[in-house]
């Protein structure tokens, strides 16, 4: 979701509706009402976990069930996930926002889309969360349009320039 830990802790069932999480001003870091769309699968999963007797003001994550740093570390160990990797990255609860923003970038999301979903006032804040090591640079360059050389002809020389459709100019 990209929600901050405090926002998740204060999330009530009345804040989750129609595939959107509403973050009330009292819970938001900016102190403004905000909302975040949920992936359809997550919205359905949340709906299936909602207790039948849950009231609108009940917490989505019940008191005592929200992981603290120690229980988060124990959950990582139980899942076989290392706290530190060989690249110096640390998995902690805050890393979940980094992962969300980095995955958005990997899907090709526009930087303003990532900023909006992270609910950052500045794009430079969003950039600090972006872990460049999670991006697939090879796939990105493989998707670049490449000029096609006519059958039987040598490819254009390195000094040629190309238009947007991949045709040689000049």
Q: What is the pLDDT of residue 16?
A: 93
Q: What is the pLDDT of residue 164?
A: 73
| Separation between Cα atoms, residue 30 and residue 83, nearest integer Å | 30
Q: What is the pLDDT of residue 150?
A: 67
CA distances from 64 to 28, 46, 51 (A): 22, 18, 16
Nearest CA to 159 among 167, 149, 169? 169
Burial profile 34-55: b = 16 or more Cβ within 10 angstroms, e = fewer: bebebeeeebeebeeeeeeeee
The answer to which of 40-44, 100-104, 164-168 has the lowest mean pLDDT is 164-168
Q: pLDDT-derived band of residue 26, with 50, 70 and 90 as boundaries?
A: confident
- Quote the mean pLDDT of the chain: 85
């Amino acid at each position: 979701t990209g929600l901050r830990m405090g926002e998740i802790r204060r999330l009530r069932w009345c804040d989750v509706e129609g595939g959107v999480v509403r973050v009330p001003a009292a819970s938001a870091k900016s102190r403004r009402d905000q909302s975040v769309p949920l992936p359809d699968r997550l919205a359905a999963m949340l709906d299936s976990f909602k207790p039948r007797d849950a009231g609108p003001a009940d917490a989505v994550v019940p008191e005592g069930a929200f992981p603290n740093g120690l229980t988060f570390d124990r959950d990582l160990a139980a899942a076989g996930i290392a706290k530190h990797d060989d690249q110096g990255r640390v998995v902690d609860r805050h890393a979940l926002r980094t992962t969300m923003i980095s995955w958005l970038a990997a899907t090709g999301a526009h930087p303003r889309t990532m900023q909006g979903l992270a609910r950052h006032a500045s794009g430079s804040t969003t950039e600090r969360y972006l872990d460049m090591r999670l991006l697939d640079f090879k796939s990105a360059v493989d998707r670049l349009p490449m000029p096609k050389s006519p059958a039987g002809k040598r490819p254009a020389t390195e000094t040629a320039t190309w238009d947007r459709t991949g045709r040689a100019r000049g």
